Structure 1
Amino acid sequence: MLNNDQQDRLLLALFATAEAMGQQLTQGAALLMVDDLRDYDEPVLTAALRNCRMEGGRLTVSAILKHAQAADGRPGKDEAWGIAMAAFDERETVVLTDEIRAAMTAASAIFEARDKVGARMAFMSAYERLVTLARGEAKAVNWSVSLGQDPQGRAVAIETAVHLKLMPPERAALYLEDMAIAPTAITQDGLAIAGLLSGDVRPASPGISHKLEAVRAEIKKGKAAAEKARRKKAQADRVDTYLRKRKLRAALAELKSERGAA
């Protein structure tokens, strides 16, 4: 939840954004909007307001929430169903959200009856309802591991989750530790896969070694792309900060004028 200083900054940002979009907000309306939005983190709201300015239209709580909620990391319903399909296979280790796990419960009986179309409909209905509820309560997304029967598949799934930034390396390491993935518990290939998390390069069989090199190359490529995106965002943020400060000064002057007239 935003503290008092952050709420004050949000109030000014709302006035400035509205002005940038050719719209005027009354003080009462802006205060109500702050009250509706204060459960979200400041960086999320800053990005949401920027997206509203770029998108155009009218500045409303609904428009801001659309962008704020889209940034919470929850997959869309089709992607969520794909994850659920993999999780229904008991051999597979899958990383999934709380909402996917709960929606799977609603659809499991239909899926077991081999009605995939009905299971998909039941899953998506439950998933959309659960996501709407979670977003309405401003709950952060929570990813967890559903362990499958294949021990090596577990390590690969967890490593992939770290690579996709669904799970921090520290939490992944705890999962690996809980699964007793240690030198005495896994094969040479398993150690090589687990080494992707820690950076500890281990030898692997020719078939696995080729795949690991491909994963390492993809991770390196992803890091380079992330760094490029970070630099681009930092540049955009500097420009946005400059423009926002200029608009905030104008909004403050207008607010003081309204108060003086009242």
Structure 2
Amino acid sequence: MLADHEIDWLVGALVGTAEAMGGEITENTAAIMAADLSAYSKPQLQQALHRVRMETTGRLTTKAILDQLDVAYGRPGADEAWALALQARDERATIIWNNEIQEAWAAVGSMVHGKDQVGARMAFKEAYQRVVLNARSQQRLPQTVVAIGYDKAQRLSVVTEAFAQGRIGMALAQDALDGCAELKFSPNNTPHFVALPVARGLPQLPSPDAQPVLMLAGPAVGQQVVQAATALLPSNVAQAFKEAVERGRANAARKARRAQAQQRLDRMVLSRRKREAAQAVATYGTKEHAA
């Protein structure tokens, strides 16, 4: 939720964006739009407005901004949501989706196993769009959901990849991997999940028909990994995790600075070479003219 001074910033940013797109809006209109967008964070709004200016034609609308915010907050379009939801037909598979896709999928559950897949797809898209519109009207953000399949090896692969990409936080990852993986730290204190050894003599997993898919919901995280670790892990492990994350961020920042410096150096070298080439051409022309 934006603070009062951030809403003032947003009003000015909306007016400026409208002008940059070749139109104009009044401050009253911008204030109404800002109230509709106040549930989002300033960094995400800045990114969304930038993308609107770069990618959208026509007048500035709240919908155009919300469409860009959906991308930032992991709310896919209807077609992408359908493609993701189709994976839920395989009870072996673990998938990372959100509560909105889950709700739309539940609404058309009886159709997806029938022969009319075109009809099921259209019904899902209509249900999903209704869910998204309702969430937008109530300023609710999508919540990450892990649908756990009974294939533990596939679950470990999917969850660890999502965790490494920052799509899910540590708390949700640990819940999803309960019984098949544990958190380890490498020599440089980088956190990662590893598979638990398979115990001998234990009964086999029940069949898919006897073991329903479990649903674990949790917040879409992004930058909340450190807070989750601090809250849920022992203090010494949480501190080690926090320090590892901070070192990773510092390393990334140093790499970015080095890359920028190298780019500047490359531009300087290229500019010098262009000047030398131009000077050589001019000198050659002068000699030819004198001859």
* Shared fold (TM-score, shorter chain, > 0.5): yes
TM range (shorter): 0.5 to 0.7
Aligned counterparts of 1:53 and 1:76: Cα–Cα separation in 2 = 20
Aligned counterparts of 2:42 and 2:5: Cα–Cα separation in 1 = 11
Q: 2:179 is aligned with what amino acid?
A: A
- CA separation of 1:41 and 1:127: change in aligned 2, threshold 3 A: same
The structure where strand makes up a greater share of residues is 2
Q: 2:146 is aligned with what amino acid?
A: V
Q: 2:29 is aligned with what amino acid?
A: A
Gaps of 5+ in 2: 185-189, 198-247, 261-291
Once the two structures are TM-superposed, the CA of residue 109 in structure 1 deviates from its matched residue by: 1.0
Once the two structures are TM-superposed, the CA of residue 6 in structure 1 deviates from its matched residue by: 0.6
Q: Which residue of 1 aligns with 2:73?
A: 72
- CA separation of 1:11 and 1:113: change in aligned 2, threshold 3 A: closer
| Secondary structure of residue in 1 paired with 2:159 | helix
Aligned counterparts of 2:13 and 2:113: Cα–Cα separation in 1 = 51
CA contact (8 A) 1:69 1:135 kept: no
- CA separation of 1:113 and 1:67: change in aligned 2, threshold 3 A: closer
Gaps of 5+ in 1: 184-190, 192-196, 205-222, 236-262
After TM superposition, which residue ranges in structure 1, 4 or more long, deviate above 4 angstroms? none
Q: Which residue of 1 aligns with 2:95?
A: 94
Q: Which residue of 1 aligns with 2:7?
A: 7
- CA separation of 1:61 and 1:127: change in aligned 2, threshold 3 A: closer
Q: What TM-score does the superposition give when structure 1 sets the normalisation length?
A: 0.63
Aligned runs of 1:207-222 on 2, under 5 Å?
A: none
Aligned counterparts of 1:27 and 1:182: Cα–Cα separation in 2 = 54
Q: 2:92 is aligned with what amino acid?
A: R
Q: Which residue of 2 aligns with 1:40?
A: 40
- CA separation of 1:115 and 1:198: change in aligned 2, threshold 3 A: farther
The structure where helix makes up a greater share of residues is 1
Paired positions, count: 197
CA contact (8 A) 2:112 2:120 kept: yes
Q: Cα RMSD between the aligned structures?
A: 3.2
- CA separation of 1:25 and 1:164: change in aligned 2, threshold 3 A: same
Q: Which residue of 1 aligns with 2:269?
A: none
% identity of equivalent residues: 38
- CA separation of 1:173 and 1:78: change in aligned 2, threshold 3 A: same
Aligned runs of 1:47-126 on 2, under 5 Å?
A: 47-54=47-54, 55-126=56-127
Once the two structures are TM-superposed, the CA of residue 164 in structure 1 deviates from its matched residue by: 4.0
Aligned counterparts of 2:79 and 2:111: Cα–Cα separation in 1 = 18
CA contact (8 A) 2:181 2:193 kept: no
Q: What TM-score does the superposition give when structure 2 sets the normalisation length?
A: 0.58
Q: Which residue of 2 aligns with 1:180?
A: 179
- CA separation of 1:8 and 1:109: change in aligned 2, threshold 3 A: same
Larger Rg: 2
Aligned counterparts of 1:84 and 1:142: Cα–Cα separation in 2 = 15
Once the two structures are TM-superposed, the CA of residue 4 in structure 1 deviates from its matched residue by: 0.5
CA contact (8 A) 2:148 2:176 kept: no
Aligned counterparts of 1:148 and 1:47: Cα–Cα separation in 2 = 35
Aligned counterparts of 2:25 and 2:130: Cα–Cα separation in 1 = 32
After alignment, is 53-62 or 137-146 more displaced? 53-62
Once the two structures are TM-superposed, the CA of residue 23 in structure 1 deviates from its matched residue by: 3.4
- CA separation of 1:83 and 1:3: change in aligned 2, threshold 3 A: same
| Secondary structure of residue in 1 paired with 2:145 | strand
Aligned counterparts of 2:34 and 2:102: Cα–Cα separation in 1 = 33
| Secondary structure of residue in 1 paired with 2:108 | helix
